[in-house]
Amino acid sequence: MPESIDPKRAIEFLKRTQETFTLLQTKEMVQPQEKRILDTQVQTADIETDIAGRSKWPELGLTGAVSYGASQYLNSTVPFDQLDAWAWSLTLSLRWTLFDFGIRARTHENAILDWKTTQAQASTRLQTLKADVEKLKNSLTTLLANFALNEDLFALEEKSYRLLESEYQQGRASYLDLITGLRDRSDAELRLSSAYFNLRETLTKLQFHEGTLYDSI
C-alpha cells in the first residue's frame, strides 16, 4: 500500500514537476553514459577495421642506432677528448607477404562486417532508448493530469469530511455518515499518494535518461 503523504508537499511537488517536465519536453534525451558506451564500441570497431585493412599492404620500417666509444686512451699522449668515436646507423626495411591464402583479406572483410553490425546494433539501441523516452514523456503527461485530478478530489473529500465532522459534533449527522466520510477521505488520500509516487518514479526515469538524476541527490 502506498505511503501517505502531506497534501501540501504533494501540491508543491506537482508544481515543480510541471516546470521540470516543460523543460524536458523540448529535449531529445539519451542516457549519456550508455551513449558513450555505444560510441566507444563503434569507434573501436572502426579502428579494428582500419588495422585489418592496413595489414594487407606492405609494412615499411625504419630503425636507427647510435653508439659511442673511446679507444687507445691508456698511456696515450693524445688528449682524451680527441679519442671520441661516434657511430650512426639507419636501416630502412620493407616487408610484404605476397601469398597468405587470403587470410588478411578475409580478416579485413570480417572486420568490416563486425563494424557494420556494431553500427546497426548501436543505432537500434539508440532508437530503442529514444522510444523509451517518448513513452515516459507520454506517461508523465497522463500521470500529471491524473495527479491534478486526484489532488482536486482529495480537496473535495477533505472539505466534505470537515463539514461532516462539524455536523456530527452538532448532532446533525450520524456516526455512520462520519465514518463513511472518513473512509472516502482516506481513499482519496490513498489515490493521491499512489499518483504522487507513480509520478515521482516516472520523473526519476526521465531524469536518468537525461543524465541529471544524481545531480538532484
**Is 93 domain-assigned?**
no
Range of 42's domain? 7-58+102-216
Task: Name the E strands within 71-203.
Answer: 84-95
**Is 85 domain-assigned?**
no
pTM (whole model) above 0.85: no
Alpha-carbon distance of 10 to 204, in angstroms, equals 16
Alpha-carbon distance of 78 to 82, in angstroms, equals 7
Percentage of the chain modeled with pLDDT above 90: 11
**Is 44 domain-assigned?**
yes
**Is 97 domain-assigned?**
no
**Is 69 domain-assigned?**
no
**Is 87 domain-assigned?**
no
> Are 125 and 38 spatial neighbours (Cβ–Cβ below 8 Å)?
yes
Percentage of the chain modeled with pLDDT above 70: 71
**Is 78 domain-assigned?**
no
Per-residue pLDDT of 10-21, as tens digits, reads 667 766 776 666
**Is 54 domain-assigned?**
yes
**CATH of residue 163:** 1.20.1600.10
Largest CA distance in the chain: 132
What is the predicted pLDDT for the residue at 53? 78
**How many domains does the chain divide into?**
1
